[in-house]
Structure 1
């Protein structure tokens, strides 16, 4: 379990012990809970198949440009860049889904 998530869950349990529910929090407690929850929302992962990983590796090595990356992944430039950055950070899962021409 991520450290940020554990802090958030511990805080929620503390509030529930105090009030019985999180809906009775005051404004200060609510804003602190939202502050704790922000890093938990940033845990983004990309589901990539082997073809997409190969294309992203070519982009990261400099063989192709962003436009080509987006074309090969059949998506927009921003989404392709996001997939490439998530792959570079190691935040991806290798899946077995195939593109339509691979079936």
Structure 2
């Protein structure tokens, strides 16, 4: 799933080679001349695309609350490790916000 910023020949080519069904909003009002874009327009499902907002909300919350944002790691595996650790930290924060505070402590969330 991606917004119209990823509507390009290179992206469509990589997704086609990988056998992935893209859900990408088309630029230019959905005008399609190339074969990959025509297939994408035919398979467009707004019900699926709306879940992109859910994912963006989770990532936005992680960036805001955890001081995350951009991954400065140079190697993909270190970036993946950092993203995983941030996701775990975010999940723990949400879990702790759902639990009642211990006796004698005031909730800070």
**TM-score with structure 2 setting the length:** 0.22
Q: Could you say which structure has the higher strand fraction?
A: 1
Q: TM-score, normalised by structure 1?
A: 0.23
Instruction: Name the one with the larger helix percent.
Output: 1
